[in-house]
Structure 1
Amino acid sequence: MSRKLLVIGSFAAIYLLWGSTYLAIALGLKSIPPFILMALRSFCGGIVLLAVSGREIASASLGTWLQAGLCGLLFFVGCHGVLAFAQQSVPSGVAAIVLATIPFWILLIDLVFPTVRRPKPIALFALVPGFFGVGLVAWQNVKLAGISILPIIWLLASALSWSIGTVLSRRMSDQAPPTLLSGMQLSIGGVVLFALSWLTGEFDSFRPGDVSMISIAAALWLIIFGSVIGFTAYNWLLENVSTSLVSTYTFVNPVIAVMLGTLLLGEPFSRASLLGAGLVIVSVIVIWRAERSSDCARTRRSTEARGICHCTKPDSN
Structure 2
Amino acid sequence: MSRKFLVIGSFAAIYLLWGSTYFAITLGLKSIPPFLLMALRSFCGGVVLLALSGRHIASASWQTWLQASLCGLLFFVGCHGLLAFAQQSVPSGVAAIVLATIPFWILLVDVLFPGDQHPRPVALLALVPGFLGVGLVAWQNVEQAGVSILPIVWLLAAALSWSIGTVLSRSMSSQASAILLSGMQLSIGGAVLFAISWLTGEVGSFKPSEVSMTSIAAALWLIISGSVIGFVAYNWLLENVATSLVSTYTFVNPVIAVLLGTVVLGEPFSRMMLAGASLVIVSVLVIWRAEHSSSRRPKAETDRSMKHLALRKT
TM-score w.r.t. length of structure 2: 0.90
Q: Which residue of 1 aligns with 2:66?
A: 66
In the TM superposition, structure 1's runs of 4+ consecutive aligned residues that sit over 6 Å from their partners are none
1:244 paired residue number: 244
In structure 2, the residue matched to 1:79 is: 79
SS at match of 1:20: helix
Structure 1 match to 2:125:
125
Q: Which amino acid aligns with 1:76?
A: F
The answer on whether the counterparts of 1:119 and 1:244 sit within 8 Å (CA) in structure 2 is: no
Aligned equivalents of 1:255, 1:133: Cα separation in 2: 15
Aligned to 2:260: 260
CA distance in 1, matches of 2:288, 2:108: 19
Matched, 1:235 2:235: yes
Asked if structure 2 preserves the Cα contact closer than 8 Å seen for 1:46 and 1:186, the reply is yes
- Preserved contact between residue 41 and residue 219 of structure 1 (Cα < 8 Å): yes
- State yes or no: 1:205 paired with 2:198: no
Contact 2:100 2:280 in 1 (8 A): no
Counterparts of 1:250 and 1:283 in 2: how far apart (Å)?
11
AA aligned to 2:68 is A
Contact conserved, 2:45 with 2:227, CA < 8 A, in 1? Answer: yes
For the residue of structure 2 that corresponds to 1:90, the secondary structure is: coil
Q: For residues 112 and 263 of structure 1, do their structure 2 counterparts lie closer, same or farther at Cα, with a shift above 3 Å needed? A: same
| Deviation at residue 127 of structure 1 after TM alignment | 4.0
| 1:63-102 superposed Cα distances (whole Å, 9 cap, x missing partner) | 1011101111111111111111111111112222222222
> Structure 1 residues 241-250 or 197-206, which shifts more?
241-250
Aligned partners of 1:13, 1:131: CA distance in 2, in Å?
27
Distance 1:122 1:9 in 2: 31
Correspondence for 2:282 = 282
Deviations 1:262-301 (A, max 9, x none): 1111111122333333334433443443344334323333
The residue type paired with residue 24 of structure 2 is: A
Instruction: Please provide the CA RMSD for this pair.
Output: 2.0
Taking the aligned partners of 1:174 and 1:21, their CA distance within structure 2 comes to: 29
Q: Which structure 1 residue ranges, 5 or more long, are not aligned?
A: 309-317
* Length, aligned pairs only: 308
Deviations 1:201-247 (A, max 9, x none): 11111111211111011001100111111111111222222323322
Name the residue aligned to 2:219.
Answer: 219
Q: Indicate conservation of the 8 Å contact 1:145/1:268, yes or no.
A: no
Q: Which runs of 5+ in 2 are unaligned?
A: 309-314
Change (3 A) 1:293 1:105: closer
Matched-pair contact (CA < 8 Å) for 2:138–2:152: no
Q: Does the aligned pair in 1 maintain the 2:101–2:130 contact within 8 Å?
A: no
Amino acid at match of 2:300: R
Cα distance in 1 for partners of 2:47, 2:25 equals: 20
> Tell me, what secondary structure is at the counterpart of 2:116?
coil
Residue equivalent to 1:315:
none
Q: Which residue of 2 aligns with 1:314?
A: none
Distance across 1 between alignment mates of 2:19 and 2:182: 19
Identity percentage of aligned residues: 79
Specify the alignment match of 1:195 in structure 2: 195
Task: Please give the residue correspondences for 1:266-305 in structure 2 after superposition, counting only pairs within 5 Å.
Answer: 266-304=266-304
Is the counterpart of residue 53 in structure 1 residue 59 in structure 2? Answer: no
* 1:31 alignment counterpart: 31
Task: Give the TM-score, by structure 1 length.
Answer: 0.90
